[in-house]
Every structure is written in C-alpha cells, then in structure tokens.
Chains A and B, each alone.
Chain A
Amino acid sequence: DVKVTQSSRYLVKRTGEKVFLECVQDMDHENMFWYRQDPGLGLRLIYFSYDVKMKEKGDIPEGYSVSREKKERFSLILESASTNQTSMYLCASSVIGALGVGYTFGSGTRLTVV
C-alpha cells in the first residue's frame, strides 16, 4: 500500500523553537507539497517541490522554509515557532504531469505552539 508518512501525529513546541516537520513518500513521486489546514480557511499551500533541491513558494510561505535533499523526503521548517503557527499541517505528493489524478496525502501533524 503506497503511502505518505508524516513523522508526528501531534507535536507541542514552545514559542521561538526551531521545528522540523518530516514527510516521506514511497511512490517515487516528483511533486511534494506542504499545506496548513485551519477551520474556516480550508487548506492553504505553504511550499511545494517538483524535484530534489527545487522548491517554490505557495500562498503563505512567511515564517516557513523547506528542504528536499532526497526525492522521497520533504521537510517543513519553522525557523522560530510562533503561536499563530498552531495548526494542522498536511503533506501530499503527486506524479508530475498527472494533473487529473490528484494528490496522495499524509495523515497530518497537529502542531501546537505554546
């Protein structure tokens, strides 16, 4: 069964901490995405990557960075966590060019910044 795996289901961090959210996919997908999900706002794209070491900003990149050193792994980094980054974070992957197929999602990481 193909998968997108997010390393933590729940995470609690302190304000100012550097936070790493990890995502691994086993489908050899070129594209990987990080979204945050907030009530009433739906899913908003933070960053995506279409190849190793390549990244593009999404709609809300401020306060975040990403790293993609290997094809299967895409990390989201909160350089200095703040309380307004408390949210659900969803990772997804897709085959490049297969526009009609949609994404495969991970199960999400619920991050609380205190």
Chain B
Amino acid sequence: AQTVTQSQPEMSVQEAETVTLSCTYDTSESDYYLFWYKQPPSRQMILVIRQEAYKQQNATENRFSVNFQKAAKSFSLKISDSQLGDAAMYFCAYRSATRGAQKLVFGQGTRLTINP
C-alpha cells in the first residue's frame, strides 16, 4: 500500500519570503500522480498544484512550484513571495495511475503560518 509522509507538522515564514514544505511517499508503482492541496480556515480544500510522475519537468503555478525527485520519492512544495492568504493546512497526496485506481492517499498535513 502506498503511504505519504509530511514530516513538518508546522512551518512559519515571513511575509514575502520563500518557504518549502516537504513530502515523501512510498510506492512500488512507476506511474502515478502527486498533488498539493491547501485547506484554509474556511475548510474548503483547494488544489494548489499537481505533477504527473512520467513528466520530468517540475510543475509550476504562479508562486507555487514543486521539486519532484522520483528516485528519492520526494515531492516538496515551494511557495515564493509568501502572502498572508497562503496561511493554511497543506496536504500532499498520491494517486495511482493504475486503471481503476480512484482514491487519493494523503499525508498528515503541514500547518503554514505567515508572519506579517
């Protein structure tokens, strides 16, 4: 079974600075998808960024980018120019690309605080 580990329960960063959230996963599969979700105090889970394992190029969405290291099974999220609105819980998630696989496996979450 696949597992996802986020080893940083809490992180904080100064506004306008850069922060990196860590995520590692364990799988024997070669094809899969990885996601980062944000959960603000409103509790609505928002998809931040996703990465296909077969793509070597790291995904980027505006101020959010990932460092995908397939051999190391690592998938970190970098937030540049941090803003107050980035404060939230962040979850890393894994999904198999096997036909019929539907579920997401989540990590434990990292609470990110932005200091003004």
Query: A residues touching B (Cβ–Cβ < 8 Å)?
Result: 31, 33, 35, 40-45, 48, 50, 58, 88, 90, 92, 94, 96, 99-100, 102-103, 105, 107-108
Q: Flag if A42 contacts B50 (CB, 8 Å).
A: no
Q: CB within 8 Å of A: which of B15-72?
A: 33, 35, 37, 42-45, 47, 50, 52
> With contacts A99-B97, A100-B52 known, is A105 near B103, CB below 8 A?
no
Given that A48-B102, A99-B101, A100-B33 are known contacts, is A43 also in contact with B91, CB under 8 Å in the complex?
Answer: yes
- Contacts A105-B45, A108-B43 aside, 20 further interface pairs with beta carbons under 8 A come to A33-B103, A35-B106, A40-B9, A42-B4, A42-B107, A42-B108, A43-B91, A43-B104, A43-B106, A99-B33, A99-B95, A99-B101, A100-B33, A100-B50, A100-B97, A102-B33, A102-B95, A102-B104, A103-B45, A105-B44
Interface residues of B in 92-116 (CB under 8 A from A): 93, 95-97, 101-109
A44 to B95, CA, bound (A): 14
CA distance A63 to B91 in the complex (A): 26
Contact B33 A107 (CB under 8 A): no
Q: Which of A42, A50, A105 contacts B109 (CB 8 A)?
A: A42
Q: A43-B91, A107-B42 are in contact. Are A102 and B106 (CB under 8 A)?
A: no
Tell me if B103 and A45 are in contact (CB < 8 A).
Answer: yes
Q: Shortest CB–CB separation between residue A15 and chain B, in angstroms?
A: 25
Q: A40-B9, A100-B50 are in contact. Are A88 and B43 (CB under 8 A)?
A: yes
Provide a sorted-by-A list of 8 A–B residue pairs whose CB atoms are within 8 angstroms.
Answer: A40-B9, A90-B45, A92-B45, A99-B95, A99-B96, A100-B50, A102-B33, A107-B42
| Residues in chain B near residue A102, CB distance under 8 A | 33, 35, 37, 47, 50, 93, 95, 104
The 8 A-B residue pairs with the shortest CB-CB distance in the complex, in nearest-first order: A105-B45, A43-B106, A42-B108, A108-B43, A42-B106, A102-B47, A100-B33, A107-B43
Q: List B contacts of A105 (CB < 8 A).
A: 44-45
In the assembled complex, the Cα of A42 lies from the Cα of B94 at a distance in Å of 13
User: Which chain B residues lie closer than 8 Å to A92 at the CB level?
Assistant: 45
Question: In the complex, are the beta carbons of A42 and B45 less than 8 A apart?
Answer: no
Provide the residues of chain B in CB contact with A107, threshold 8 Å.
Answer: 42-44
